[in-house]
């Protein structure tokens, strides 16, 4: 009989990625040709909420790839870290946040392979062997050119790995931009107020000598049904009321009603 693990904590461990992270990974996947390719990123962890936020993708480390696998070497990772520290792209404190490995499966399913698990073990060997330390974790993402995602969270401090972990895209608003656009709308946008006249019957314009029914004034939006609308701002009213005063247009239906039927010609 198989074992069942039930999470009884506050919430299930969940991955959040920023829109920039998602965009960067899609660009890498779509421009890597038919070979798999790997990358590293920065992750922050909210222990209370059990959230693992992937917030930055780092420049690509040197790697050897082919259509079925990608391998990140320790030498390539060390060189990348030195380059970023020297350029100021990350701080010394942020090097401890390099807890994310992502790679592309090109056009295949993002399900982990045996090679993926081996690479993951190599990347996190020091975290696995550490004893007693807290906050030992790593996040893995497998994606493809279809933008399918498979996340796994390895929590070595708890001795568990959550495969195919739940994830979602961060939708946090930038308050400064919200205030900016609210001010733009308030300053630049005003409501258009127009007086519309509804003509019951709709065949004659309001200023027609023949009238055209009983006009009723409304402000705002028109409504459907019979009749037509007139407005002082509308220089091209609908075709139904573009008739010259005093003229009646004979419709096709009237012609049909007035024709002689065959039985009338025969004196029936």
The tens digit of pLDDT for each residue in 45-81 reads: 998 899 999 999 999 988 877 766 677 888 888 999 9
Same domain? 27 vs 126: yes
pTM of the predicted model over 0.75: no
CA 184 to chain centre: 24
Q: Answer yes or no: is 4 within a domain.
A: no
Q: 142, 175, 208 — which closes off a domain?
A: 175
> Residue 6 CB: number of other CB atoms within 10 A?
4
> Judging by DSSP bridges, how do beta strands 149-155 and 51-57 pair with one another?
unpaired
**Strand pairing partners for 138?**
154
Rg (Cα) of the chain, in Å, rounded? 35
The pLDDT tens digits of the residues spanning 258-268 come to 555 444 445 44
Same domain? 27 vs 155: yes
Greater model confidence, 243 or 101: 101
> Residue 67 CB: number of other CB atoms within 10 A?
12
Q: Answer yes or no: is 7 within a domain.
A: no
Judged by DSSP in three states, 58 sits in coil
Domain that holds residue 215: 195-265
| Averaged pLDDT of the chain | 77
pLDDT over 90, % of the chain: 37
Same domain? 135 vs 203: no
> Judging by DSSP bridges, how do beta strands 137-143 and 69-72 pair with one another?
unpaired
Give phi and psi for 158, each to the nearest 5: -110, -5
């Amino acid at each position: 009989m198989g074992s069942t693990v039930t999470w009884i904590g506050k919430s299930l461990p969940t991955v959040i990625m920023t829109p920039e992270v998602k965009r960067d990974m899609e660009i890498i996947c779509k421009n890597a040709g038919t070979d798999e390719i790997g990358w590293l990123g920065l992750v922050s962890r909210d222990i209370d909420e059990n959230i693992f936020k992937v917030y930055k993708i780092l420049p690509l480390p040197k790697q050897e790839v082919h259509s079925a696998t990608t391998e990140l070497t320790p030498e390539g990772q060390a060189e990348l870290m030195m380059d970023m520290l020297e350029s100021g792209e990350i701080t010394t404190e942020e090097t401890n946040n390099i807890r994310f490995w992502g790679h592309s499966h090109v056009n295949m399913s993002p399900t982990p392979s045996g090679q993926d698990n081996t690479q993951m073990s190599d990347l996190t060997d020091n975290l696995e062997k550490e004893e007693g330390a807290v906050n030992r974790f790593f996040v893995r993402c497998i994606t493809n050119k279809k933008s399918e995602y498979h996340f796994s969270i390895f929590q070595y401090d708890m001795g568990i790995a959550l495969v195919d972990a739940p994830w979602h895209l961060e939708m946090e608003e930038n308050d400064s931009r919200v205030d900016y656009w609210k001010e733009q709308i308030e300053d630049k946008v005003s409501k258009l107020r127009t007086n519309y006249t509804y003509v019951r019957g709709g065949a004659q314009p309001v200023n027609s000598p023949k009238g055209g029914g009983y006009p009723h004034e409304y402000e705002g939006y028109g409504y459907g049904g019979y009749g037509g609308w007139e407005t002082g701002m509308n220089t091209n009213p609908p075709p139904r009321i573009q008739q010259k005063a005093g003229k009646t247009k004979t419709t096709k239906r009237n012609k049909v009603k007035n024709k002689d039927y065959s039985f009338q010609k025969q004196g029936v």
